[in-house]
Amino acid sequence: MTLLDVENLWVKFPSRHGVFDAVRGVSFTLGQERLGIVGESGSGKSMTGRAILRLIRPPGIVTADQISLEGEDLMQKSEREMRDVRGQRISMIMQDPKFSLNPVMTIGDQIIEAYRMHNSASKSEAYKKSLDMLNAVSIRDPERVMRAYPHEMSGGMGQRIMIAMMLIPNPQILIADEPTSALDVSVQRQVLSIMDKLVTDRGMGLIFISHDLNLVADFCDRVLIMYAGRIVEVCDADKLHDAQHPYTRGLLNSLPRLDAPCDRLEVLKRDPEWSKTPSVSARI
């Protein structure tokens, strides 16, 4: 079943030196699966995620043949209608919990607000629901956390709180923009397994944006590899290590490996042809 269908998405930023194309003609579909988007910084992966939620502000320009969520075209919606989509139907987890939680509101108030915004529930009901949600993301002593402010939390806890807050309205699609890159390796696995469990239990679609190839290969079902605003290759995550495109190969080979020591790491040689060839479609 297709949840989201994106066709020919462009994101442009006019500047003094002409128009800069951040995303150039990207097409993909998302079902009830875990879709990974990987690429270097500046390859347009985060912009793709933001464009789906129409979060790109002027002077940025977003054009697309369609971005349809279960048949409804998001491009045609007004700002007011978009507000019902954001959070309720598509949620986004941002990269750094330090900057995405409100520093002057307690965590409890923020989660309750997120829940009551989309559901008509009494305060005590919302409080109970928030506690359950914090339990679901394995936070110990949730009552204390509900009363705490974001600066009292560690990075890993902050990110789990963000996940709790984004999942409490029960959206159909979750967009996670580098959810674990600010975290330690040991905490990373923990946060990912929590996210994985919640996504599978609820049958959501997940778009997982990351620059970490190994992580994506382990965690996702299907992977899009982006370079200079275009999708250069689409492959199944378990076959990522047999990828064909020279860019993907270059990225994989440039990682140091514990099991295969070498004197010099392979350096990526960029071919100007890569940015000229049209985007590969990832629609099914």
In whole angstroms, the minimum distance from the beta carbon of 250 to other proteins comes to 7
Please identify, using beta-carbon distances, which residue of 91 and 180 lies nearer to other proteins: 180
Is the CB of residue 59 less than 8 Å from the CB of residue 80? no
Nearest to 64 by CA among 2, 10, 23: 10
The Cβ of residue 117 has, within 10 Å, a number of other Cβ atoms equal to 12
The Cβ of residue 239 has, within 10 Å, a number of other Cβ atoms equal to 11
| Residue 251: strand, helix, or coil | helix
Please identify, using beta-carbon distances, which residue of 31 and 250 lies nearer to other proteins: 250
In whole angstroms, the minimum distance from the beta carbon of 76 to other proteins comes to 36
Interface pattern 86-125 for other proteins (x via CB under 8 A): ----------------------------------------
For the segment 256-275, give every residue that binds other proteins (CB under 8 A): 256-259, 261-268
Q: Does residue 15 touch other proteins according to CB under 8 A?
A: no
**d(C-alpha 284, C-alpha 274), whole Å:** 23
Cβ neighbors of 237 (< 8 A, separation 6 or more) are 34, 36, 216, 217, 218, 219, 220, 221, 222, 223
Q: Does residue 155 touch other proteins according to CB under 8 A?
A: yes
Q: What angle do CA 74, 79, 84 make, to 5 degrees?
A: 70
Please identify, using beta-carbon distances, which residue of 123 and 264 lies nearer to other proteins: 264
Helix (H) or strand (E) run with residue 277 in it: none
Q: The dihedral of CA 200, 206, 209, 213: what is its sign?
A: positive
Please identify, using beta-carbon distances, which residue of 85 and 192 lies nearer to other proteins: 192
How far, rounded to the nearest angstrom, does the alpha carbon of residue 47 sit from its chain's CA centroid? 10
In whole angstroms, the minimum distance from the beta carbon of 252 to other proteins comes to 9
In whole angstroms, the minimum distance from the beta carbon of 210 to other proteins comes to 11
Give the position of tokens 């990828």.
Answer: 243
Please identify, using beta-carbon distances, which residue of 135 and 254 lies nearer to other proteins: 254
How many amino acids of this chain bind other proteins (CB under 8 A)? 28
In whole angstroms, the minimum distance from the beta carbon of 260 to other proteins comes to 9
Please identify, using beta-carbon distances, which residue of 41 and 120 lies nearer to other proteins: 41
Is the CB of residue 16 less than 8 Å from the CB of residue 203? no
For the segment 203-222, give every residue that binds other proteins (CB under 8 A): 211-213
Max distance between CA atoms of the chain, in angstroms, equals 63
Interface pattern 165-204 for other proteins (x via CB under 8 A): -------------------xxxxxx---------------
In whole angstroms, the minimum distance from the beta carbon of 118 to other proteins comes to 34
Phi-psi region of 39 (alpha: psi -120 to 50; beta: other; left: phi over 0): left
In whole angstroms, the minimum distance from the beta carbon of 111 to other proteins comes to 25
Q: Does residue 40 touch other proteins according to CB under 8 A?
A: yes
Q: Which residues bind other proteins (CB under 8 A)?
A: 40-41, 155, 184-189, 211-213, 250-251, 254-259, 261-268
